[in-house]
Amino acid sequence: MKLATYQDGSRDGQLVVVARDLGLAHYATGIASCLQQVLDDWDFLAPQLQALYVQLNTGKAAHPFPFDPRQCLAPLPRAYHWTQASAYLAATERQCQLQQQALPADAASVPRLRAGYGDAFLGPAQPLVLPADAQGVDVQTGLAVITGDIPRSSSPARALAAVRLLMLTGTVVRVPSGRAGAAAAAESGGLAIACSPVSVTPDELGPAWQEGRVHLTLQVLCNGRKMGLCDTGPSMHFHFGQLLAQGCKHHAWQAGAVLGSGLVSHASGPNAQGEPEWPQGACSIADKRAIETLQHGRARTPFLRAHDSLCAEMKARDGHSLFGTLALSLLAPEDTAETAQAA
């Protein structure tokens, strides 16, 4: 099923069930008021939402209405726990190549996790006001899972079974002046986490959900121009079960925890004929600049600034958008002042 959260003036919003083609929606009133309530009592409430989802898709729901992503908050507006992983190693390998450094010895065997703040995820209709001193920003797009309870020291299989929902995320990071690498951007700390309007249960992915990986294509547009077209499956070095198991190694995770895959990236290297083969774009500006530098000797793509925009979307094999469009617009501080004066 597909779930979203509509704005209603509260911090947690109003839970809605969304049709498979994202055309219609239905309030979950009478079942649950917000998504966290469902995550806390999944076995009892999820089947009721699933029944409403079937009715919505078969035209039998009582009070459907046109789904409007602009009315959405993040699927889970605030989470008790947010962790960002580095499931894809290709971008890190490129940065190490540029800096003439070797990957850490355990990079391919131990997942890297970084805890962050999940108390205010951005939804698709919420622009980000950049700090006045921001020299530029980057958006690292990827996937994220929302979990149920995960006991301490769970195995990857047990942890994977606790995945309740998936969504798209974009981690907005500040790029310090004079430093252009993805690692430098990550070290500067995240400004915000933007989310797709819709979250989906793993079964909604069908055969594209295989062993903790999503085998579909993530498309990223920067200012309306295609920047990346990346298959999120083959290059995912650590699957979500492994990442979650690493996260709960020393303490249990509670229902409503969110774990991001980190930046989606594809490996570059020689093809079957021994010729250089480069990824079809990138899912962050820093990785795109790294590819440009390795391929052409210099970076050509500038980092994002105020009034720029970035969109990410993933389509199912039937052509329908899975999560809706993660659409992030960046504003300067004076933009909000002008808006307030106009109002």
For 268, the token pair is 């570059």
Check if the beta carbon of residue 124 is closer than 8 Å to that of residue 72. yes
Q: Model-level pTM?
A: 0.92
Residues 271 and 13: their CA atoms lie apart, in Å, by: 49
Per the model's pLDDT, the better-predicted residue between 78 and 278 turns out to be 78
- Dihedral through CA 73, CA 76, CA 79, CA 81, nearest 10? -130
Give the residue extent of every domain in the chain. Answer: 1-73, 76-342
Query: Strands 326-331, 128-129: parallel, antiparallel or unpaired by DSSP?
Result: parallel
pLDDT tens digits, 249-297? 999 999 999 999 999 998 876 655 666 567 777 999 999 999 999 888 9
Per the model's pLDDT, the better-predicted residue between 272 and 231 turns out to be 231
First CA to last CA distance, the chain: 39
pLDDT tens digits, 159-172? 999 999 999 999 99
Check if the beta carbon of residue 76 is closer than 8 Å to that of residue 255. no
Q: How far is CA 246 from CA 104, 146, 171, in A?
A: 17, 16, 21
Residues 33 and 25: their CA atoms lie apart, in Å, by: 15
As assigned by CATH, the class of the 76-342 domain is alpha beta
